Each structure stands twice: as structure tokens, then as C-alpha cells.
Amino acid sequence: MQDDKEIIRRTLSGEKDAFEMIIRKYQSPVFNYIGRAVGDHQTALEFTQDIFVKTYASLASFDHQYKFKTWLFKIASNYLIDYWRKKKLLTVSIDQSLSPDDDRPRIQLSSPHRNAEEQLEMDELRKKIESALEKVPPELRELFIWRHINGLSYKEMAQIKNIPMGTVKNRVFQAKELIRSHLEDKL
């Protein structure tokens, strides 16, 4: 697959169809982010379309010293902030940050004794997480999605939101515990 910056250069030099490669590469991460954030399939489809159209329109202003993925998620995040602002949703308080340490999510998912029963239990848990996610404040939800669904690193998330990495970690932690508390409510 071609480098993002090369595709952008081609698009800007008049080869407009090259942008389709960018869409194909990032459509799923953006749609999964937006879909989980707004919780409605049709709205998510419209928003994702708009985000790509917006990205195309402002492509000339892309600063090549940054990663395209980070820039794209920033556009998507700002788009959602506008949406949430229009819906007049509340933001959340921010606790003190943890020590900065960055890495991509590499969790120990495998359980030594996985069986069909546990698989069923997992599916059930996933459904509960999905519905609990809707109850989490947008700012925390967004970071949780980026980390757990889009697989962004804490560093990337900090760059997109323009906040310290420790703050990002702390908010992701808050989001996880909040979702977990909603799961407990359901039990």
C-alpha cells in the first residue's frame, strides 16, 4: 500500500481519484469510531462521509510533519465536538494524570482455559460493553473507542486532543471503570 503522504501529494497535484485509496484505508477505523460515538448506523454513515469530504477539502492545509492518521482523527473529533455541542451534551471533569508511558495496546487477551462457555460469556459481555458505552460522557467515550477499538497509542491520542499523555491515560482509565460500573448495574 502506498504511503499516505505520497497519495496526498498525488491528490493535490490533480490526480483526484488517488484520494479513494485514503478513504479505503481509513473508512473502517473512522466509521467504527463515529459509529460507537454516536450510536446510530445511519448517522454514523453520513458523518463518516462528511468527514472524508471535509478532509478532502482541507487537504491543502495538511502539515506533512504530522501523521495523516492523527490529522484525520482530529478532523473527525472536531466534527463530533460540533455535533455534541449542537446536542448540548455535558463534558466531564478531569482528574490528575498518571505517569507518562506510551505504547500501543498490547494486552494479554488469551486465557489459558477458553472454551465455548467462556466464548458465549464474552459475547454477552461485549454486548453489555456496547450498551454501557452509550452512557459514558462523550469525551471519555471517544478516548476509550480510540484506544480499544481503533488501537491508537496514548501518544497519538495526546497529539489529536492536544493534551498531555498522562491525562489521556487517566481519562481512558476513568472510561474503563465507568463502563465497568455500568456493567455491574446490569448484573
Partner 1 sequence: MRCLKIHQIHEYLENQMPAPQKEECEAHLQVCARCRRLFEDRRRFHAASYTLPELKLPENFALQVMAKIKSGESFSAKWFWLSIGSAILVFFLLTGMTLVRFGPLESWIRLMQSFAGMFQQGALTLMKGLKVIMAFFQAAAGFINLILEKLGSLASLVPPETPFLVIAVFILMTAALILGRSRKSSLGENE
Per CB under 8 A, residues contacting partner 1 are: 16-17, 19-20, 23-24, 27-28, 31-32, 35-36, 41, 44-45, 48-49, 52-53, 56-57, 98, 101, 103, 105-109, 111, 121-122, 125-126, 129-130, 144, 148-149, 169, 173, 176-177, 179-180, 183
Distance in angstroms (rounded) separating the CA atoms of residues 33 and 156: 15
Distance in angstroms (rounded) separating the CA atoms of residues 110 and 103: 19
Q: How far is the CB of 78 from partner 1 (least distance, A)?
A: 18
Q: How far is CA 117 from CA 29, 40, 77, 125, 157, in A?
A: 30, 30, 38, 12, 35
Query: Of the two residues 67 and 128, which places its CB atom closer to partner 1 in the complex?
Result: 128
Q: How far is the CB of 128 from partner 1 (least distance, A)?
A: 8
Query: Of the two residues 6 and 130, which places its CB atom closer to partner 1 in the complex?
Result: 130
Q: How far is the CB of 123 from partner 1 (least distance, A)?
A: 8
DSSP 30-72: HHHHHHHHH--HHHHHHHHHHHHHHHHHTGGG--TTS-HHHHH
Relative orientation angle of helices 68-87 and 4-12, to the nearest 10 degrees: 80
User: What cell does 109 get?
Assistant: 487477551
Q: How far is the CB of 35 from partner 1 (least distance, A)?
A: 4
Query: Of the two residues 49 and 70, which places its CB atom closer to partner 1 in the complex?
Result: 49
Spell out the residues 6+ positions from residue 46 whose beta carbon is closer than 8 angstroms to its own. Answer: none
Q: How far is the CB of 162 from partner 1 (least distance, A)?
A: 22
Query: Of the two residues 91 and 181, which places its CB atom closer to partner 1 in the complex?
Result: 181
Query: Of the two residues 24 and 85, which places its CB atom closer to partner 1 in the complex?
Result: 24
